[in-house]
Structure 1
Amino acid sequence: MTDAVPHPRLFDIRRIYVEPEAAALPRGRAVLERFPDAERVEVDSHSRIPELYGDETNVARWVRIKTEALVLGVKKSLTARPNGRSADFIAPSTANGCAMACAYCYVPRRKGYSNPVTVFANIDRIGGYLRRHVGRQGVKGEPNQCDPAAWVYDIGENSDCSLDARISDNVRDLVTLFRDLPTAKATFATKHVNRDLLDWDPQGRTRVRFSLMPARDAKLLDIRTSPVAERLAAIDDFVAAGYEVHVNFSPVVVRDGWLDDWAELLDQLDDALGPAAKAQLAAEVIFLTHNDRLHEVNLGWHPKAEQVLWRPEIQQPKRSQTGGWNVRYRTGAKGAYVAALTDLVAARAPYCRVRYAF
């Protein structure tokens, strides 16, 4: 029996779309047992569910679908992709989608007009693949910006692992796996404080990256997430529990007064952290990239967010790999924005090493 406990504000699961193969696996059965009253809808593929994905009429039900629907599937293709920024490798997903609703999230660009959580039930196969992949790398030959000694694997590229841990034990299994791999670390970014993770004894082999932004931005853009103050308050506790804790300053949104608000956030960070957290802290700085298709989706459910996310007068377009248009701050001006914020970090939080900024 899993220890995962659903979050009552974020989950009211009423319908589970399930692949038969997933339902037959131990993890799949455990997830189904957690929601005994939910309607079960058998599907051929977790990624092809017409009433969830690709139906623009779902925009008006964006948050409701996240709250009430869950998908249970099997991860077919297992690969660890090279990365080089947040991690050396992106691990195979044990989940995708999210019950939170950040207005800038890139996952909906891939899944259409809805992205409830999908849990992959073949965790034993995923864990076995990762163990073998780590073994093939051997000892890390030289330091890089990901880590000086360990191969780092991002286990949450397409979901929020802190939230996933409220549905199944997949994330706990991976934290346990990496605890016993002396040449590797797991990592994931999160906007959700799940204190159940404090009991997992990671022994320094999992790096949690708390995503932070000024409260004014978070109130508008970080929908259904833990308040920034709660994330700040959790950092010392996660360090004490054996996690390495970094922060993501992400996404950085340029607007009137943005730099002053970031200065206030950095002061709040300084006040929140004890010596142990400061001694191991590092940050990633990621400025906003937006997308024309997500812009259209947001206009259907959260148009106020687009007033700060969609700024053609200071952004430039670039064709995306999926055929749409991404927009980012204009070359030249963006370099000045990055320098201004990294200089501010150096002045207000000099102990916080910036791993990369773009």
Structure 2
Amino acid sequence: MGTDRRDLLQVRTIYAEPAALALPRGQQVVSRWPEAEVVEVESALRIPQVHGADTSVERWVRTKTEVLALGVRKTLTARRNERSANWIAPSTANGCAMACGYCYVPRHKGYANPITVYANIDEVVGYLQRHVARQGVKAAPDQCDPTAWVYDIGENSDASVDARVSDNVADLVTAFAAMPTAKASFATKHVNRDLLDLDPQGRTRVRFSVMPEAMAKLVDVRTDPVRDRVAAVDDFVAAGYEVHLNLSPVIVHEGWLEEWAALLDHLDDVLSPRAKAQCAAEVIFLTHNAGLHEVNLGWHPRGEEVLWRPDVQEVKRSQNGMDNVRYRARWKAVWVQRLLDLVAERTPWLTVRYAF
């Protein structure tokens, strides 16, 4: 089950920084698509043919399918989070082959955001090993984890898809398996069963994002079906991963609670007692953006009918300084509580780590 690399990626062009091509990981990526044209660029994040061009809207999905970028991560910094994870690790990739209508990454990169792979993986792993060592033993439980420092390794990409492009994710899983005081963590909407061949030793948390199937078909473009994601949970637990669920994003519309009730019932029916015992969830209501709304109108206007709802949304400045739209605070508080009550009723085994 799950989409394979051929469905997501048919790479014809690789834009690459010369320094990335000189590294073993860069060479690995190029070797996986030997017939692709390699075009050297000064910066993998500022490619005139890809980023910031209005014409890219018309090629939104095609660009994600046919283009890769290769770069070198210049800044190695772990950023405090304390929501989903204690720290956001330095990215080893940016962008995605999937095309969820609400994804925030295109807001930063311009009109198209194909996968950019950072080839200096050894430097990233070394930095994380030193950073984890400096933290010592976690003194007290928090909402991220009772005992481990949690590092999100997929803030700007989907690590399950990244693992189809290079061994960066495999290297990170292997590195965290040897860190008894820390865990890697990433959210995903793609079932990559190659990850089952790794040995995470319980030190990597996979968070499968789920939402009602009908809504996912509309806005989770090019992702794996929600039922496939749910069906993969037990297999990943058996392979040594910690597996959580992201109830995300929660999109309010007529009948939304009934749809979530059906999904929660499905989770309760199919997950094993072992999976349920180790599972927890994050509940994240939709955040959207005016600029992204305008872009989406050019390639997927139907999705905007549910994502762009000025009648129930308000502008709010995000942590990164962007003006986004979220559900109006007074109504959202009510809706959050209704969903939490539903979780408690239908899946009492599912601990909600946080909801917003």
| TM-score, normalising length: structure 2 | 0.98
Give the alignment's Cα RMSD to 1 decimal.
1.2
Q: Is the 8 A contact 1:99 1:117 kept in 2?
A: yes
Q: Which residue does 1:191 correspond to in 2?
A: 189
Q: How does 1:117-196 map onto structure 2 within 5 Å?
A: 117-196=115-194
Alpha-carbon distance in structure 1 between the residues aligned to 2:320 and 2:227:
36
Q: How does 1:1-358 map onto structure 2 within 5 Å?
A: 7-319=5-317, 325-358=323-356
Query: Shift of residue 258 of structure 1?
Result: 0.2
| TM-score, normalising length: structure 1 | 0.97
Q: Which amino acid aligns with 1:51?
A: Q
Alpha-carbon distance in structure 2 between the residues aligned to 1:229 and 1:73:
35
Alpha-carbon distance in structure 2 between the residues aligned to 1:319 and 1:81:
19
Q: Is the 8 A contact 1:71 1:116 kept in 2?
A: yes
Alpha-carbon distance in structure 2 between the residues aligned to 1:266 and 1:248:
12
Query: Shift of residue 319 of structure 1?
Result: 4.1
Q: Secondary structure at the match of 2:297?
A: helix
Q: Secondary structure at the match of 1:301?
A: coil
Q: Which amino acid aligns with 1:117?
A: I
In terms of mean alpha carbon deviation, does 29-38 or 69-78 score higher? Answer: 29-38
Q: Is the 8 A contact 1:293 1:324 kept in 2?
A: no
Q: Which amino acid aligns with 1:281?
A: C
In terms of mean alpha carbon deviation, does 314-323 or 10-19 score higher? Answer: 314-323
Q: Secondary structure at the match of 1:9?
A: helix
Identity score, percent: 68
Alpha-carbon distance in structure 2 between the residues aligned to 1:122 and 1:112:
24
Moved over 2 A (4+): 318-325
Gapped regions of structure 1 (runs ≥ 5): none
Q: Is the 8 A contact 1:292 1:324 kept in 2?
A: no
Q: Is the 8 A contact 1:6 1:167 kept in 2?
A: no
Q: Deviations over 1:296-345 (max 9, x none)?
A: 01000000001000000111112457775311111110000000000000
Q: Is the 8 A contact 1:86 1:146 kept in 2?
A: yes
Q: 1:308 to 1:45 in 2, by over 3 A?
A: same
Q: Secondary structure at the match of 2:349?
A: coil
Alpha-carbon distance in structure 1 between the residues aligned to 2:28 and 2:329:
50
Alpha-carbon distance in structure 2 between the residues aligned to 1:201 and 1:233:
20
Q: Is the 8 A contact 1:213 1:249 kept in 2?
A: yes
Query: Shift of residue 272 of structure 1?
Result: 1.6
Alpha-carbon distance in structure 2 between the residues aligned to 1:110 and 1:19:
20
Alpha-carbon distance in structure 1 between the residues aligned to 2:148 and 2:317:
35
Alpha-carbon distance in structure 1 between the residues aligned to 2:319 and 2:279:
34
